[in-house]
């Protein structure tokens, strides 16, 4: 997901770093997601200001704060059956 050199820019940033510093340094980088794209600035702006102690902290924060453009079908899981009464249940079909 962190394509076009974004991961490297985050890695090369000096830590500790604040959210604002990361936005200034790599906020214009575009993250290509399965259902669109968004900038690092868009992602980090969703969060409260914090201080990242390492590049790993920054990576994890960016990964966890991307929008639903990063997921396939919202609410979909192929692991478990749909619970009764779920808003994601398929409509009943009569044959």
pLDDT in tens, 6-32: 888 899 999 999 999 999 998 999 888
Structure tokens at 19: 């959210």
Reading phi first (left if > 0) and then psi (alpha if -120 to 50, else beta), residue 69 is in alpha
Question: What is the number of structural domains in the chain?
Answer: 1
Is 22 part of any domain?
yes
Lowest mean pLDDT, pick from 28-42, 54-68, 77-91: 77-91
Is 88 part of any domain?
no
Is 92 part of any domain?
no
Is 72 part of any domain?
no
Is 21 part of any domain?
yes
Give pTM, 2 decimals: 0.68
Q: Which residue has the higher pLDDT, 18 or 70?
A: 18
36: closest CA among 77, 75, 71? Answer: 71
Is 60 part of any domain?
yes
Placement of tokens 């604002």 in the chain: 20
pLDDT of residue 3 exceeding 80, the answer is no
Which range of residues forms the domain containing residue 59? 6-66
E strands present in the chain: 17-18, 30-33, 36-39, 51-52
pLDDT of residue 52 exceeding 60, the answer is yes
């Amino acid at each position: 997901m962190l394509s076009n050199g974004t991961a490297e820019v985050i890695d090369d940033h000096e830590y500790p770093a604040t959210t604002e510093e990361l936005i200034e340094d790599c906020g214009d980088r575009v993250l290509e997601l399965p259902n669109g794209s968004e900038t690092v600035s868009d992602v980090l702006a969703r969060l409260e200001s914090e201080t990242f102690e390492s590049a790993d902290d920054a990576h994890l924060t960016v990964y966890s704060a991307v929008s639903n453009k990063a997921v396939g079908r919202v609410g979909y899981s192929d692991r478990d059956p749909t619970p009764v009464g779920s808003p994601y249940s398929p409509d009943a079909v009569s044959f």
